[in-house]
Amino acid sequence: MGRLSTVHDDEVFSAVGARLAAEGAITLQTVVAETGVSVGSLYHRYGSREGLLALTWLDAVKAFQERFLAELESGHEDAGECAALATPRFCRSDRQRAIVLSCCRASEFFSPATPQDLQKEITRVNAAGAAAIRRYAKHTGHSLEACRLGLVAFPLGAVRLYLPARAVPEAIDDYVSAAFWSAMGNG
């Protein structure tokens, strides 16, 4: 019988996000110090530093997009507003993943050295989100620019005022809603 894995993705990904947000860089030695997981276990689980970074990003973006896309594609009259509100709500309910997405640049998580299969998955996930926003714009008759601002830019800008140092307050939701509707009124 093999040994049980002592690597817990959520702990490792959280450590990666926290260090990148705080210091702008990450080493495997930092992850070892934060999690107690050996370098060998990290390589065995993630293949490389680049694999670890890409998987950290994918874990966070998939968790967020599950909520965002469910709201955006719900067909409800207020689907866009609910999708915009997915950002601050995600930040409150899944803080560690939200830090990865809101406090770090995507370029910190992947590079030409990222394994090809992960590069393809990142491209697929990003394309799915972009396609959903294009469909929403077409369906509602709003400009793509207005949709990008109302659904992505304004909510992300709002939560970045708080993360990683503080929790995103519920009161921010009113501002995100107002910004969404303002963008839709102008687009």
Residue-wise pLDDT for 27-70, tens only, equals 899 999 999 999 999 999 999 999 999 999 999 999 999 999 99
Residue with tokens 């963008």: 183
Distance CA 80, CA 72 (A): 6
How far, in Å, are 3, 35, 174, 181 from residue 82 at the CA level? 44, 35, 12, 11
Q: Residue 94 in contact with residue 166, Cβ under 8 Å? A: no
Q: What is the pTM of this model?
A: 0.90
**How much of the chain is in helix, strand and coil states, percent to nearest 5?**
75, 0, 25
Distance CA 152, CA 175 (A): 14
Closest by CA to 183, choosing from 43, 58, 63, 81, is 81
Q: How confident is the model at residue 25 (pLDDT cuts 50, 70, 90)?
A: confident
Q: Where are the domains of the chain?
A: 60-186
